[in-house]
């Protein structure tokens, strides 16, 4: 697998299971460890047509009623969009060395891929705000306690365990498997849609246009502590 890249693989023998590996590619999963895409866009403005990156991208804020269960297997550093991919799955299997983080607030911007809705839903309001408002990292055991992760396995076994669960799910009645996540996701869909619309049309553009956002991204590129002024 090419280094520094994420991969998405459909399992041909399990046609209704999708499997994502958002943090794979290097031994420590470096693909989701930074904010290079927002940094690149802020250098040239604010994304396409003067807007921040789309809130309805693959990174999580999909409002569709998916009927295909998603299992994620992660290891190493799983930050920002990587965590949002995990939150957008039905089941997340984490290696014991996984470290999670939703770090946008430390760079003067906001999570655009659904974390502001899905993390409170998954982990509870207090747990979510504890990390969304600080950007502090979350180790695998704490992520399991909070409900972000459903199982923690020894490093190197996360893929095997994800595939084992995928086969287990695929052995059940197809229509029932399709109906279950579709119904569960329908309860969250209106909130995701409202969040995505606000991020895309109001909150996101306002934050991305601030001096604090520019300072946050500049400090990331220059590897220094940011100085924020609330403007």
Measured from the Cβ of residue 99, the count of other Cβ atoms closer than 10 Å reads: 21
SS3 content of the chain, % helix, strand, coil (to 5): 45, 15, 40
CA 38 to chain centroid: 15
Strands (E) located in the chain:
7-10, 18-21, 70-74, 77-79, 91-95, 99-101, 138-139, 151-153
Catalytic positions, written as ranges:
84, 104
Structural tokens at position 111: 């999570």
Q: Are 134 and 116 in contact (CB under 8 A)?
A: no
């Amino acid at each position: 697998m090419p280094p520094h890249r994420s991969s998405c693989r459909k399992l041909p023998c399990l046609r209704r299971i999708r499997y994502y590996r958002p943090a794979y590619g290097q031994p420590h999963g470096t693909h989701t460890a930074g904010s290079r895409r927002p940094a690149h866009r802020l250098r040239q403005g604010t994304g396409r047509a003067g807007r921040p990156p789309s809130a309805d991208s693959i990174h999580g804020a999909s409002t569709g009623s998916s009927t295909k269960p998603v299992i994620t297997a992660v290891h190493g550093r799983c930050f920002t969009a990587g965590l949002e991919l995990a939150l957008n799955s039905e089941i997340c299997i984490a290696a014991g060395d996984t470290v999670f983080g939703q770090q946008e607030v430390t760079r003067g911007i906001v999570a655009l891929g659904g974390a502001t809705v899905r993390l409170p839903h998954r982990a509870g309001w207090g747990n979510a705000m504890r990390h969304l408002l600080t950007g502090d990292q979350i180790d695998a055991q704490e992520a399991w306690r909070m409900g972000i992760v459903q199982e923690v396995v020894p490093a190197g076994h996360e893929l095997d365990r994800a595939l084992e669960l995928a086969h287990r799910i695929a052995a059940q009645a197809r229509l029932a498997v399709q109906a279950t996540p579709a119904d569960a996701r329908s309860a969250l869909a209106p909130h995701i849609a409202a969040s995505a619309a606000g991020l895309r049309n109001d909150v996101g553009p306002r934050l991305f246009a601030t001096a604090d956002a520019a300072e946050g991204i500049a400090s990331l590129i220059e590897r220094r502590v940011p100085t924020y002024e609330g403007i």
